[in-house]
Structure 1
C-alpha cells in the first residue's frame, strides 16, 4: 500500500459516539476525512472540524484510499459492506479497510474474504476503551488480518490509540475484543455485588466506594466508575445495551465451542434485568440494579 501521509484520503462510516471522536482525532492530526452516516445530521456535525460529507457509501468508497468504520452490530456491518450498494462493491482494488466494530469474528472473516475477492484488504481492528479514552487517545486497538498491512497502518493507529496489537488472522481482533469485554462485564458485575454486600452489612456507601477505589483489586477500566456511581451519575460512556449485546456475542461464541461460562451467564442475567429500565445509561448502572435488590 502507498505511504500514509496528510494527502491520504480517508473515509469513515458510522460517526456515532465512538466514530465521531475518532474522526475528530484524525482531522486534528491533519488527515483528510470524508464521512458517511445514516444520520446526515451526525455527519454534517463534523464539517466544522474539517470533514467532508459523502452522499452515499458508493461515493465514499470511490474516493477513499483507506476506509474506517465503527458500526453498531453485525447487521449494520453486513449492510454497509456486503449489500449491493455497499462499500466492497464500489471500492477500488488496493483499498484498505479498518473495520472497528464489536461483532462476531465470523462476520469479520466473511467481510475480509469478500474484500479479498475484490482486491480490497480488510482488517478487523476492534477498540477497547470508552468515549473518554477515545477523546484522550488512550484506547487499545486489537487487530486481525494481514500483519504487513497492519504495520503499514501505524501512522493512523497511533493517532487513535495509546497501544495497538496484531493478534493474528482475520477475526482475531474481534475475537480478542470479546475476551476483553468478558472481563469488563464480569468485573463490573463483581464490583456491583461487592458494593451491595458492603451496604447490606451497614458500611457507609460513600466511604465504601472511596476505599474500593484505593485498593489494587479494581481494574483501571472500572476505577473511574466508582466516583461517578457515588454521585449516582450513570451518564453513558459505554451504554448498558451495548454491553448486553457484547454479552450475547460472548455467550454465543462460547456455545459454538461447547464452552460453559457460568460467571458470564450470571453477569448477563443481571445486565439484562437492568436493561429493561436503563438501556441507555452506562453499563456501571448494574451497581444501582444490585443496590435495588439490597433494598427489597
Structure 2
C-alpha cells in the first residue's frame, strides 16, 4: 500500500497517476473534499497522517510549506513515529535544503529511509505524468521507488545526498520566477511603446533569449486568462525560500530579492491565487 499526503493541484494529480497505474493508495488531506475523485477511483481514505502510516510502507508528501511538512510528519497525529522501520518517506514538497536534511535526520533516527524528490512542472504535466523529479538520497532507495516516480514523471535526476533534490528545485524555480518577470516586463514595455501585444509576444518567443516554458504561458498573456497552473503565491513563497537558502550559504542574490518583492506586491493586490504568469497582468496594470 502506498500512502499519499497532500492533495492540492499537484498532489491530487500525482496520486491519480499512481492509481491509474494500478497501485493501491491510502490518502490523506486536511480537507477531505479534495480526495473525492481519488476515492471514487478506489483510493482508501485515512482519517489522519498516523492512519496512513499504519497501512503504508511508502509514504509520499506533497505540501506547501515546511511547517506543514513538519506537523504532518512529527505532530501529534504525525505519520513518522508509527511508520514501520525500513519504510520509505518521499517528500515532494518545495522546502529549504536545510529543512530537508533535518527531516532526513528525524527519519533516520526512527529507522525510516528518506528521499527528497521535489518536482519541476505544474498542473498539466502533473495530469499527464510528465513531471521531472529532482531526487536526493541513497541510490538503492531511489531504485526501489523508481517505478513509482516513473508513473508520475518523465525524468528522474538523482543528484546526490539528502538535500540535493530540494537544492536543485530552488535553483530551477529561481530561474523560472525571474524569467517570467523579465518576459512580463518586456511585453509591458512593448505595449507602452504602442506595439501590438500579440506581435510582441510572438516575436519574443521566437527569439533565442526566451525560455522554452514561456510558450506555455503565451495564450494566458495574450488572452489575459490566468487560470491557475502554478499559483503566484507559491512562487512568492519559493522566492522566500531561495532568499533564505542564499542567506544561510552566504550568497548575495539581489535579483531574487527584487523578484520576491515584486511577486509579494502582486500577492498583496489580490493575484495570489492566479497563475504566476499573472505577474504580467500586475505589471501592465490590466487589473485596474
The count of aligned residue pairs is 287
- Determine helix, strand or coil for the equivalent of 1:94: coil
Residues 1:21 and 2:6 aligned together? no
Residues 1:283 and 2:282 aligned together? no
Q: What's the CA shift for 1:282?
A: 0.7
Residues 1:192 and 2:175 aligned together? no
Q: Which moved more, 1:227-236 or 1:208-217?
A: 208-217
- Determine helix, strand or coil for the equivalent of 2:154: strand
Residues 1:114 and 2:103 aligned together? no
Deviation track 1:159-206 (CA, whole Å, cap 9, x = no partner) reads 111101111111111111100000000100110111112112221112
1: CA distance, partners of 2:74 / 2:197: 50
Q: Which consecutive segments of 4 or more residues in structure 1 shift more than 6 A?
A: none
Residues 1:79 and 2:79 aligned together? no
- Do the aligned partners of 2:86 and 2:111 also contact (CA within 8 Å) in 1? yes
Q: What's the CA shift for 1:68?
A: 0.5
Unpaired runs of 5+ in structure 2? none
- Do the aligned partners of 2:18 and 2:152 also contact (CA within 8 Å) in 1? yes
Give the TM-score normalised by the residue count of structure 2.
Answer: 0.96
Give the structure 2 partner of residue 3 of structure 1. Answer: none
Q: What's the CA shift for 1:259?
A: 1.2
Q: What's the CA shift for 1:45?
A: 3.3
- Determine helix, strand or coil for the equivalent of 2:149: helix
- Do the aligned partners of 1:210 and 1:227 also contact (CA within 8 Å) in 2? no
Residues 1:222 and 2:214 aligned together? yes
- Determine helix, strand or coil for the equivalent of 2:63: coil
- Determine helix, strand or coil for the equivalent of 1:243: helix
Residues 1:131 and 2:139 aligned together? no
1: CA distance, partners of 2:20 / 2:60: 16
- Determine helix, strand or coil for the equivalent of 1:140: strand
Give the structure 1 partner of residue 82 of structure 2. Answer: 90
Give the structure 1 partner of residue 153 of structure 2. Answer: 161
- Do the aligned partners of 1:209 and 1:227 also contact (CA within 8 Å) in 2? no
Residues 1:65 and 2:68 aligned together? no
Residues 1:51 and 2:19 aligned together? no
Q: Which moved more, 1:251-260 or 1:23-32?
A: 251-260
- Do the aligned partners of 2:2 and 2:57 also contact (CA within 8 Å) in 1? yes
Q: What's the CA shift for 1:73?
A: 0.4
**Structure 1 residue aligned with 2:166, among 148, 168, 174?**
174
Q: Which moved more, 1:46-55 or 1:246-255?
A: 46-55
Unpaired runs of 5+ in structure 1? 1-8
2: CA distance, partners of 1:199 / 1:44: 44
